[in-house]
Amino acid sequence: MDFIEIAKAAKKASLEIADLPADIKNKALLKVADAIEENKAEIFAANKEDLTEAETLVQSGEINKSTFNRLKLDENKMRDMIQGIRDIAKLDDPVNKKLLVRELDEGLTLYKVSCPIGVLGIIFEARPDVISQISSLAIKSSNAVILKGGKESKNTNRTILGIINSALEKVDGFPKNVLNQVFSRDDVAEMLKCDKYINLIIPRGGNSLVKFIKENTKIPVLGHADGICHIFVDESADLEMAEKVIVDAKTQYPSACNSVETLLIHENFTEKDKLLAALQLAEIKLEFNPESWSHEYGDKILSVKIVRNVDEAIEHINAFGSGHTESIITKNIENAEKFMNKVDSAGVYFNTSTRFADGFRYGFGAEVGISTNKTHARGPVGLEGLTIYKYKLIGNGHIVADYASGEKTFHHKDLPL
């Protein structure tokens, strides 16, 4: 089937799933979680094939080490994947929620209600767990998706989506063609042109991928290009806390987009030598004169800068950051409030690791990605970020002419949701 036929089928499916009852969607999600758990061995075998092939790609320079690390699917990721799907099934249905109820006049009532976006085009590199995250979020939010993963994870991707769709076929009333997958570069080109059928593109990958997509499509794009996250150690910071938080933010998963890349330290923080020594003992390489303050290492490397005060830290972050996630370590509540209010990022934290920027950890069940956009969705994008809204107006033969003539007037009375 060519791409346009796939897109047409996805559009039709998006209209069919738009008003699917919550109990059918939840039943479908639980079936999917069970199917993935029952077929773990098959998924791990496919992932092993991809890892073997990816080793050659690393040696040839086609993919880097951080991409290779994201590709690996282990028991922990599998556990989180399955639990994420079950958690999504427990969440409230995000569709047809009343967001506003306003009586314009007697018998004329306006409702603002949440609704699905429609068809999502997802383009991602490595990370095969993305398949289950996005599929489950799409099901719950009543959206159809077309997934295009990187060639480095094709076997895992094909296996996981095959298992998911086989489970969905056994759910009475669940539409066909809600979850679709394509594999070629030509399909990407077609996807980016397909504004007639696709409503939103969500890229998950490196800067070059996101930049290419944004420059080559008229379809709205949701996502982020860079993960230049910062931690500022204020003058009053506790040394032990600072060490613990920074080590976690840099080493727990260095290739993640929410890993810290730049450490800013107040010039009057008296324990800075001890802190830097502790970071080096944690096998973190420190760069005091980096080529760029906007470099995403994806490795155990950290740019370090001494700043005069919280204001200079904020200025640096807003100048060189990517709008992703930043944290301040301090005992000074006033400085913490100033930092969180003035830093222009999707996530601003106080005394905690940047690695918490994640839909699963936020209780969203999963995420389709992290957005640094200033549109309808920002930060980890879960169910709410995959819905938009429509206005429903219910009257009883009301006409505008009566209001234009002054015979009737609006009273605009807000009612309880």
- Asked whether the beta carbons of 51 and 72 are under 8 A apart, the reply is yes
**Residue pair 115/164 in contact by the 8 Å Cβ criterion:** no
- d(C-alpha 33, C-alpha 36), whole Å: 5
DSSP string, 284-334: PEEESS-S-TT----SSEEEEEEESSHHHHHHHHHHH--SSEEEEE-S-HH
Quick check: 40 pLDDT over 80?
yes
| Cβ contact 81:36 at 8 Å | yes
Q: Which two tokens stand for residue 74?
A: 């282990």
Tens digit of each residue's pLDDT (9 = 90 or more) over 157-211: 999 999 999 999 999 999 999 999 999 999 999 999 999 999 999 998 777 888 8
pLDDT value, residue 225: 73
Domains, the chain, ranges and CATH?
3-222+368-390 (3.40.605.10), 229-356 (3.40.309.10)
The first and second tokens of residue 258, run together, are 């929410």
Instruction: Report the chain's mean pLDDT, rounded to a whole number.
Output: 95
Query: What is the DSSP code string of 352-365?
Result: S-GGG-STTTTTSS
Q: Give the number of other Cβ atoms within 10 Å of residue 168's Cβ.
A: 20
pTM: 0.85
User: Has residue 387 got a pLDDT over 90?
Assistant: yes
